[in-house]
A and B are shown apart, each in its own frame.
Chain A
Amino acid sequence: MSQNLPYTQSPYFHIGRASELENKSDRLLYRFLEMVPALLSWGTILGSIILAYFVPVAAAIFIIVFDLYWLLKTAYLSLHLYNNWKRTRHNTSVDWHVMLEPLKYEDIYHMVILPFYSESYEVVSKTIEAISKVDYDLKKMIVVLAGEAKAGDHAELVAERATKEYGNLFGHFFVSIHPAGLPGEMPGKGSNITYAAQQTRIHVLDKNSIEYKNVLVSAFDIDTVAYPKYFLCLTWYFLTAEKPYQSSYQPIPLYNNNLWDAPALSRVVAGSGTFWQMAQQERPDKLVTFSSHSINFDTLHKIGYWQTNMVSEDSRIFWNAFMAYGSDYYVVPLAYPVSMDANLASSFWQTLKNIYKQQRRWAWGSENVPYILFNFIKNKSIPLNKKIRITFVQLEGYWSLATNPILILLLGWLPVIIGGRNFNQTVLSYNLPYITQNLMILAMSGLMFSAFVFWTFLPEMPQYYGRGRKIFMFFQWLFVPVTIFIFGAIPGLDAQTRLFLGKYMGFWVTPKHRGKATQ
C-alpha cells in the first residue's frame, strides 16, 4: 500500500470483521456496528407487528404512508431507469473509435482477470473467446486466468488447455494458481484476484516495463462476456474522467448468456438486479462498484488490491479507495453492458436454491456497513456532511432491501387481523386493505416499463423455443411480488441476521450451468 495515501497504513483500512481488531473497545464498537443493519431491519418488522397489535390505527396510518412512499420511490427510480436506458442505447450504438480519435490511447493496456474454480472449460473458453473478439488491439490485452490450487488438477488442466488455445491471441496471457491456505485469507474471489493481480504485476507489468498508470484492470467473473466495444468505451471514460486515477468504472450487468434457458423466476431476479444497477448509474454519487468492474492498476496497487479476508470484495474495493482518498473517489457509470449468466442449475429446485444463495451473498454486502461507519469514526479527513449522507444512504439501502417487501406484503392486513374489535369497527380498518392494494397496483404498473426495457435487451431467441416463450418474457414480471419477498427480503434478512449473530459467511461460488443454447 502507498505511503502517499496515509490512511492505507491504518490498522482499520483492510479490516474484515470485529475479531481482527486488537484493541478491545475498537472490537466492541465494530461488533456493535455489525449488528446495526439487523437491528434496524428486525426492529422495523417487529415494531410494526407490535404497533399493529397495540396501536393499530398508528400502524394502519404508517403502512398507508409507507405504501405511498414506495409508489413514489418506484416512480422516481423508473425515471432514472428510463434515463439510463436511453444512455445505454446511445453508448451501445456510438462509434467509439470516433469518440477516441482526439485522445491518445495507444498506450492503454487492459488487464482482464478471470477467476475460476470448478467451472467447466466450456464456460471459461466462452469468456476468453469473447475477449478475443473485442474491438481493441489484442496486443494491448493482458488476460489473466486465475485458478485455485484448491480445485486440484482441474485448474491446471483448464489453464493448460486455455493457454494452448488462446495464449497466442493476446499481448499477454498469464495463468496464476492461487495457493490454498495462505495466512489471513478467506478462500474466495477477493483472495484469488488479489494474488493474480500481484503475480501479474511481477511477471508481466514489471517484466515488460508496462507503466501501472497505463493499465486498466477489469475484475470479471468467469462467466462475464464483454461486448465488442466494451474496452473502447471503458478507455474513453477513463481518459475523459475528471479524476481518472481516483475513479472506478462500472458497467451494467446483463444476464444474457443463458437467459432464454433460465426459468422465469431466475430471469425476473436477474432483470431486477440489472434495473437496480441501471437506476444507480444515474445517481453516480450513490453508485458503488458491483460484480464486474474496472479500476486503474496504479490505484489498485496503492490501496493494496482487493481485500482477501472478506466476501464482498467487489464493493469493498470502492470503500477502500474512498477511505484512502479521503472521500475524493468516485464511480464512473459506463452505461454500457457486460453479459453474465442468470442462475440456472440442472433442476428447477436447485436453480431456486442457487438464486437464494446468490442473493444472500449479495445481501452480505451489508458487511460493508460496519466497515464504513467504523472508518468514518476513525478517518478524520472525510467531511461530516458526506459521512452523514453516506451513512443514511447505506443504512437505508440495506434496510429497504430487507424490510420493504415484508412491510408491503404483510402489514397491509395485519392491523385488521390483530388490531382488535375496536379497530375493526373503524372506517380505516375497512379501507386499509383497499387503499394499500390500489397503491401497490399503481406501483406494479411501473413494471410495464421494466418489462419493455428488459425486452429491448433480450438476446436472440434460440430456434428450439417457440413464440410462446417470447411472449412470456412480458408476463413473467407478474412474479415480482414473489421474487422481491423470497429472493429479496428473506435473503437480505438472513444475511443481516448472520452478521448480527457473528456467523460470518464464506464465499459461495455460483455454479455455472448452460442450457441447450450455449453448450
Chain B
Amino acid sequence: MTPHSSRTRFLYFIFFVLLFISAAPFILLYSMGYNWGKNFSLLKTGGIYVYAPQNGVDVYVDNKLDNTTSIFQHSILVKDLRPNQYTIRVTKTGYLDWKKTVPVKEEKVAEVYPFLIPANIVTTSVPQQIHSTNSTTSVLVVNSEYKNLIALFATSSKPKISTALTVSTSSTSSALLTLPSIESKKVVVEKDGNILHALWQGGVEDTPFYFCISASTCAKDFLVYSAASIGTFDFYPNRNDVVLVATGPKLTVVELDKRPPQNIVELYTSPTGENLDFRVVDNDTVVVKEGKKLTKLSLVYAGQ
C-alpha cells in the first residue's frame, strides 16, 4: 500500500478549501446577527440579554415564553429579534413578575437585569425581651438579637450596608457628595430634598446599561424617585441598580433604570402607620424599625 497520489490529496485539499470558503460567510453572518428573511434576503437582527441569577425563571418576550433559567444557565440571550421595541416579562413561582420594555437595534444586544421580590414577604418580629431558658423559673431577659439589631439604628452610627458598598458622606470638591448619598461601584444615589438622583462617576465607555435609554443614548445622571418624604435609603442587597427607600410608613423597592416601565414595589407598610427606618442586615434580610419595634423582612421566597 502506498500513500494516496498527489492528485488525490490535492482533491482532498480542494474539498476542504471549498468547504471553508462556503461555510465561513454563513458562520460569520450568523455570528454578527444576520438572519434569513423571505425571498432569501439578509436581515439584520439584534438581541436582548436577560440575566436572572436564579433557577426556574421564565423569560417571556412579548408574552411568548422564550426560555427558562436553570442551574447551568442563569442568563438567557434572546436572539434573532428584528429592530423594534420588545416587552420582557420575567416570572418565577412565589415572586412578583418583573417587566421592562426594551428597544432592540440591529447587531446590538440590550441588557436587562430583573430583580425578583417575593410575592408575600415573610416578617418576623424581634422582641426586646425573651424568656430565659436556663433557670427553673421564667425570667425575662434582654434579647441579644434585638440588642444587636437596635445598635444599627444608633443615631451616631452610619446605616449598616452590605460589605460590597461604601458610604460616602465626606465633602469633596464635587458639590454632589455634600448631599446624603450612597455609592456602589461608581454608581451614586443621592437625596436632594425629596428626590433621589442616580449619578455615574465612572468613564463614559463604562456607563451601566440602566443609565441608557438606548445603546447610544446614555445619561450621566437621572431622576430615580420622588415622594412626599424620603427617609433612609440604601442599595438592595447585591445590587447597585435597585434601592430600598423608606417613605414615611412604607418601605419601597425602586429600580434604577431609565427604560420604562420603572419597577417600583412596596415591600412593607407599617401596620400602625408609624414612620419607619430600616437597615440591610445581610443578603436576604432587612430589619425595619417602627418606634422601638423591630421586624425582620425576608427577601427570599419561603417555598425555595
Tell me how far the C-beta of A355 lies from the nearest C-beta in chain B, rounded to whole angstroms: 30
Tell me how far the C-beta of A292 lies from the nearest C-beta in chain B, rounded to whole angstroms: 20
The answer to whether A435 and B33 touch across the interface, beta carbons within 8 angstroms, is no
Contact string, B193-216, partner A, CB cutoff 8 A, digits 1/0?
000000000000111000000010
Q: How far is the CA of A470 from the CA of B45 in the complex (A)?
A: 50
The answer to whether A69 and B3 touch across the interface, beta carbons within 8 angstroms, is no
Which A residues are in CB contact (< 8 Å) with B71? none
Q: State whether the Cβ of A407 lies closer than 8 Å to any Cβ in chain B.
A: no
Which A residues are in CB contact (< 8 Å) with B109? 425-427, 429-430
Which B residues are in CB contact (< 8 Å) with A60? 31
Name B20's closest neighbour in chain A (CB-CB): A72
The answer to whether A432 and B1 touch across the interface, beta carbons within 8 angstroms, is no
Identify whether the interface residues of B are mostly helix, strand, loop, or mixed.
mixed
Which A residues are in CB contact (< 8 Å) with B6? 285
Q: State whether the Cβ of B139 lies closer than 8 Å to any Cβ in chain A.
A: no
Q: Which of A82-90, A146-154, A185-193, A457-465 contacts B (4 or more CB under 8 A)?
A: A82-90
Q: How far is the CA of A425 from the CA of B24 in the complex (A)?
A: 23
Q: Which of B11-19, B114-122, B145-153, B250-258 contacts A (4 or more CB under 8 A)?
A: B11-19
The answer to whether A72 and B27 touch across the interface, beta carbons within 8 angstroms, is no
Q: A68-B27, A83-B4, A420-B205 are in contact. Are A426 and B108 (CB under 8 A)?
A: yes
Which B residues are in CB contact (< 8 Å) with A69? 20
The answer to whether B12 and A79 touch across the interface, beta carbons within 8 angstroms, is yes
Which A residues are in CB contact (< 8 Å) with B205? 420-422
The answer to whether A75 and B16 touch across the interface, beta carbons within 8 angstroms, is yes
Which B residues are in CB contact (< 8 Å) with A87? 1-3
Q: State whether the Cβ of A333 lies closer than 8 Å to any Cβ in chain B.
A: yes
Q: How far is the CA of A26 from the CA of B3 in the complex (A)?
A: 40
The answer to whether B1 and A91 touch across the interface, beta carbons within 8 angstroms, is yes
The answer to whether B3 and A427 touch across the interface, beta carbons within 8 angstroms, is no
Q: State whether the Cβ of A61 lies closer than 8 Å to any Cβ in chain B.
A: yes
Q: State whether the Cβ of A283 lies closer than 8 Å to any Cβ in chain B.
A: yes
Name A287's closest neighbour in chain B (CB-CB): B3
Q: State whether the Cβ of B79 lies closer than 8 Å to any Cβ in chain A.
A: yes
Q: State whether the Cβ of B77 lies closer than 8 Å to any Cβ in chain A.
A: yes
Which A residues are in CB contact (< 8 Å) with B12? 76, 79
The answer to whether A284 and B31 touch across the interface, beta carbons within 8 angstroms, is no
A-B contact pairs, 30 of them (CB 8 A): A68-B20, A68-B24, A73-B16, A76-B13, A83-B4, A84-B3, A86-B1, A87-B1, A87-B2, A91-B1, A282-B9, A283-B9, A284-B3, A285-B6, A333-B3, A425-B109, A425-B110, A425-B111, A426-B32, A426-B108, A427-B45, A427-B47, A427-B79, A428-B31, A428-B32, A428-B33, A430-B47, A430-B109, A431-B31, A432-B31
Chain A residues packing against B (C-beta within 8 Å): 60-61, 64-65, 68-69, 72-73, 75-76, 79, 83-84, 86-87, 90-91, 281-285, 333, 335, 420-422, 425-432, 435
Given contacts A68-B24, A76-B16, 10 further A-B contacts (CB under 8 A): A61-B28, A69-B20, A421-B206, A421-B207, A427-B79, A427-B107, A431-B31, A431-B32, A431-B33, A435-B27
The 4 closest A-B pairs by CB, nearest first: A427-B33, A431-B31, A87-B1, A282-B3
